[in-house]
Structure 1
Amino acid sequence: MSDDDRHAAKMAKKKAARDKIMATKTDEKGLVIVHTGKGKGKSSAAFGMIFRCIAHDMRSAVVQFIKGGMSTGERDLILGRFSDICAFHTMGEGFTWETQDRSRDTEMAAAAWEKAKELIRDQENRMVLLDEINIALRYEYIDVADVIAFLAEEKPPMTHVVLTGRNAHPDVIEAADLVTEMELVKHPFRSGIKAQIGVEY
């Protein structure tokens, strides 16, 4: 038997096994998705899913919990071209080390959570991205038990909710359907290279 024949036989066997597994995957539901970890790409991956929803004409929404008014490519693109299908709410006033005002940060996070609940309850929104909510939960600006209970009890069955940010709370990880941890292997910031347009924002 030639190498090509052996490869074809191996791939046919793999395809048969894969098809058998796939035939058992018939359920569909709205997922709770968590992107966490120290590596870059948590929000970037989440916005990738938002743009997939936009491409499929599925209504979606974004609530940014921490990031402030700085212009970003994803926000400018959505507001400029897709605001009819994707609501975008920047509710934070910047990273916590910039604001240095816990009471104000708590107030802003509470307002962001109220907006998030409103958007999630709207069954027309197939995906809602809660960008950097894990940071707000870590600093206890909002109650993790409240977030978990809301997602369990009030999230419509077919709505996807994505939670991003470092140090996701263990209870959030436990409640989620899909969790990805971005691992930091190497980052140019450590070599003195600043955040760059098109890469970080």
Structure 2
Amino acid sequence: MEIESAPTEKRYEKPEGERRGLLIVNTGDGKGKSTAAFGLALRAFGRTHVHGKLVKIFQFMKVPSARFGEHRMFEQLGIPIEGLGDGFSWKSQDLEHSAQLARDGWEKARVAIMSGDYFMVTLDELTYPLIYGWLPLEGVLQTLRDRPQHTHVVITGRRCPEEIIELADTVSEIKLVKHAFKAGIPAQRGIED
């Protein structure tokens, strides 16, 4: 490790632009895309709920009955989180049914985004229904372009379509360096559930 000097001067000038809703994308093959989005949802909720602004999370691959750690905590805090899918595609008994769930779920998410009622809407794992061809990309892009000016949207998932990346204000690519699962260690409750 190389030691460096701590900065003693500000490294940037404060932007002069207007404050507005951002489109934020967490993509890549590394672990932590949803976790980062959930942290952002918590930050937004903590900052805005006292002013009546709302945060909503849609999970495109999780089942509506999912009870993972994030579901339990968001429910306790009063942050709505909704599973829209039927789980991993390789476990699906009917991929056309999975596709229909994605389309129905997108309609719910689209209505929430366009309502103007939400400060932030998180679309967890949205990239999968897009890259599987279950959702038409153009409709998603149109909603993202036309959303109310104050509404932030956060999208997670691997292989985010380039058209969304181009439209986004902030994109983080989370790179896989090393993963315990590849070393034969099973998923850990509370870490990967």
Counterpart mapping for 1:70-89 below 5 A: 70-79=66-75, 81-83=76-78, 86-89=79-82
Length-normalised TM-score, structure 2? 0.89
What SS class does the counterpart of residue 191 from structure 2 fall into?
coil
Kindly indicate whether residue 140 of structure 2 is the aligned counterpart of residue 147 of structure 1: yes
Question: How many pairs align?
Answer: 184
In the TM superposition, residue 87 of structure 1 has moved relative to its aligned partner by: 2.2
Runs of 4+ in structure 1 deviating by more than 4 angstroms, as ranges, are: none
In the TM superposition, residue 194 of structure 1 has moved relative to its aligned partner by: 1.2
The 2-side partners of 1:100 and 1:185 are apart by 33
- Matched residue, 2:111: 118
Q: Could you tell me which amino acid in structure 1 is paired with residue 18 of structure 2? A: D
The 2-side partners of 1:100 and 1:35 are apart by 29
Counterpart mapping for 1:32-111 below 5 A: 32-56=23-47, 57=49, 58-68=53-63, 69-79=65-75, 81-83=76-78, 86-111=79-104
The 1-side partners of 2:192 and 2:16 are apart by 36
Query: Comparing 24-33 with 158-167, which one deviates more in the overlay?
Result: 24-33
The 2-side partners of 1:98 and 1:25 are apart by 49
In the TM superposition, residue 197 of structure 1 has moved relative to its aligned partner by: 1.6
Q: Report which of the two structures shows the higher radius of gyration computed on alpha carbons.
A: 1
The 8 Å contact of residues 59 and 85 in structure 2, kept in 1 or not, is answered as yes
The 2-side partners of 1:70 and 1:193 are apart by 23
What SS class does the counterpart of residue 126 from structure 1 fall into?
strand
In the TM superposition, residue 118 of structure 1 has moved relative to its aligned partner by: 1.4
Kindly indicate whether residue 184 of structure 2 is the aligned counterpart of residue 189 of structure 1: no
- Matched residue, 1:129: 122
In the TM superposition, residue 183 of structure 1 has moved relative to its aligned partner by: 0.1
RMSD: 1.7
The 8 Å contact of residues 54 and 82 in structure 1, kept in 2 or not, is answered as no
Q: Could you tell me which amino acid in structure 2 is paired with residue 76 of structure 1? A: R
Identity of aligned residues (%): 38
Alpha carbons of structure 1 residues 172 and 100: separation in structure 2 relative to 1, 3 Å: farther
The 2-side partners of 1:108 and 1:36 are apart by 22
- Matched residue, 1:4: none
What SS class does the counterpart of residue 117 from structure 1 fall into?
helix
In the TM superposition, residue 100 of structure 1 has moved relative to its aligned partner by: 4.5
The 8 Å contact of residues 26 and 156 in structure 2, kept in 1 or not, is answered as yes
The 1-side partners of 2:180 and 2:151 are apart by 36
The 2-side partners of 1:122 and 1:39 are apart by 33
The 2-side partners of 1:164 and 1:54 are apart by 18
Q: Could you tell me which amino acid in structure 1 is paired with residue 173 of structure 2? A: E
- Matched residue, 1:180: 172
Point out where structure 2 has 5 or more consecutive residues left out of the alignment. none
What SS class does the counterpart of residue 94 from structure 1 fall into?
coil
What SS class does the counterpart of residue 178 from structure 2 fall into?
coil
Which of the pair is proportionally richer in helix? Answer: 1
Length-normalised TM-score, structure 1? 0.86
The 2-side partners of 1:120 and 1:198 are apart by 29
